Amino acid sequence: MGVFLVAVATFLTRIENWRSYTPVGGGGSLIEDSSYIDEEKPAGIVRWLTTVDHKDIGILYGLFGTTAFVVAGLMVMVMRLDLITANSILGTAMYNSLLTSHGITMLFLFGTPIIAAFANYLVPLIIGADDMAFPRINAIAFWLLPPAALLIWAGFFAKPFGLFGPAQTAWTMYTPLSLGAAGPSADAVGGSGVDLMLLGLHLSGVAATMGAINFIATIFTHRGEEVSWANLDIFSWTILTQSGLILFAFPLLGSALLMLLADRNFGTAFFLAEGGNILWQHLFWFFGHPEVYILILPPMGIISYILPRFAGRKLFGFKFVVYSTLAIGVLSFGVWAHHMFATGIDPRIRASFMAVSMAIAIPSAVKTFNWITTLWNGRVRLTTPMLFCIGFISNFIIGGVTGVFLASIPIDLVLHDTYYVVGHFHYILMGATAFAIFAGIYYWFPLVTNRMYQASLAKAHFWLTMVAVNITFFAMILLGYGGMPRRYATYLPQFATLHQAATFGAVLLLIGQIIWLYNMVSSWFEGKRVESGDPWDLNQDNVRTVEWQWFKQKRDTQIATDGGDEEVATDGGEPAEETEAVADDAAATDERDN
């Protein structure tokens, strides 16, 4: 793999002079004509293979994350269709393989990269930086992800040729199952497929760590002169906190993965010795629970950034939202053992972790109440981004409350490893994180593409997704209350109705995502061009933010390609007019997100 990467780097240096990229040419500075010099970029595929522009890399992250979302979504659809009946048609081996790859793909190949897409494109623009602190490292961090994905999915490609199969360890990779010969046979859990999956996970962790270092350096050292810590926007605060979590959590995961690889291939006994199984759980969950907040904090930042735009007012309690973000970042490293209440650890230790697990709900509640208060007496406009923001809050409350129950030791001992847990964390990851991602995609779609999506399809996407999420995952919560264990390909007949309800919800969810994907692709190429520098009419409430000033300047400097004067209806149903205040840069002071 190392030789391959060196060969690729050598090839690229021969066909493209990376030194031709300047901070001005690739950055997001608001200085006139500084970031619109397309002549400095090569054309065609070479541009995308060699770019170090943070905006291009953000788009690449977005396309990669979307691809992973589609792959993982199709995997889980096959599983849910198989669960319509109590007897598995796929067989336990294929079911376990899809289960493992679905979880890992969603967490490591969709969740983290899609957040990096927003952060790469927007953070330099918002904080007034020319580009990321280390543009080339930024590019390298992305290009580590495609080979990581191929390694994680390698077993699915090799199996048809009679070679090794995909891993069947579930995404937690618990020992002794993941050790192969130490427990079940190596073939039973995937053999070489497990080794390649572990290498792919390690590679994705290296990529995430490189990106985190870059974001920390950028926010600390490349802010514009007018951007202080006091007025740093809420989205950048969440990215900074997330990057700190990645910096401390992912190297630990990498170390544990290398120890597991050594046990599997080099005769070591890190997890073979007495207590090794508990050691793996401690190491994994010390990473695993901060990972949950790595995936939810930036979406919280997106909601905190977008929701005030369509409530017509500033974010209520901005400082407390920032403090709660930092509090979650710190507390997230003190709750990992609530995943291990059923392992027989000391009751006194369990009690302390129960207390911290309940305490971490407080900063999350602070955010929730601040979002609701921001809406209170605001001039609410139910655009598609706003609908997804409200859906986020609703689903996050359900996911959070069900999580508080799991933080209680007696309740967790009953519900541990049941479908209740699956319903809980999917309310957070699909019902909240994905909703925030969709809100951000719709809100910034005109910024990236200079076009507007189809509002009717977008709202159909929201309603289908909102209804489907609650049907699917509430059915799982009820299955958990009934005692249905998770990760099973077969089940008792009394669980059939709820499983069929969950599958019905999953089909609705699939239909909604097909509508979304069609809307995005068709609108990217054929959507109506945005003719206003303020496509969301933010200036009327004085809530326009700095990236839209950059967008207006970009539009003003670009040569019109279609010459059309047609007004484009915004998602709110009102024509976006170029107001006198927007045209006058002195009047449009573009206050930052407070």
Asked if residues 80 and 502 have their Cβ atoms less than 8 Å apart, the reply is yes
Q: Say what the pTM is.
A: 0.88
The answer to whether residues 241 and 320 belong to one domain is no
Provide the pLDDT for residue 186: 53
The answer to whether residues 221 and 356 belong to one domain is no
pLDDT digits (tens, 9 = 90+) for 64-83: 999 999 999 999 999 999 99
Q: What is the mean pLDDT of residues 401-420?
A: 96
The answer to whether residues 428 and 527 belong to one domain is yes
Q: Does the pLDDT of residue 583 top 70, yes or no?
A: no
67 in a structural domain: yes
Q: What is the mean pLDDT of residues 27-37?
A: 38
Q: How many domains does the chain have?
A: 2
From the number of C-beta atoms within 10 Å of its C-beta (0-12, 13-18, 19+), residue 45 rates as exposed
pLDDT digits (tens, 9 = 90+) for 446-472: 999 999 999 999 999 999 999 999 999
Banded pLDDT at 21 (limits 50, 70, 90): very low
E strand or H helix that includes residue 286: helix 276-311
DSSP state of 222: -
The answer to whether residues 230 and 364 belong to one domain is no
Q: What angle do CA 432, 425, 416 make, to 5 degrees?
A: 160
- Note down the domain range covering 240: 53-272
Q: Which amino acid is at 39?
A: E
Place of tokens 């096959």: 78
Provide the pLDDT for residue 37: 40
CATH code where residue 138 lies: 1.20.210.10
Q: Does the pLDDT of residue 561 top 80, yes or no?
A: no
Q: Which amino acid is at 56?
A: D
The answer to whether residues 242 and 327 belong to one domain is no
44 in a structural domain: no
The answer to whether residues 377 and 233 belong to one domain is no
CA distances from 239 to 190, 400, 452, 478 (A): 36, 21, 27, 35
The answer to whether residues 249 and 343 belong to one domain is no
The answer to whether residues 206 and 322 belong to one domain is no
The answer to whether residues 502 and 418 belong to one domain is yes
Q: Does the pLDDT of residue 148 top 60, yes or no?
A: yes
33 in a structural domain: no
The answer to whether residues 419 and 484 belong to one domain is yes
Q: Does the pLDDT of residue 24 top 60, yes or no?
A: no
295 in a structural domain: no
The answer to whether residues 120 and 173 belong to one domain is yes
Q: What is the mean pLDDT of residues 237-255?
A: 96
CA quadruple 478, 484, 486, 489: dihedral sign: negative
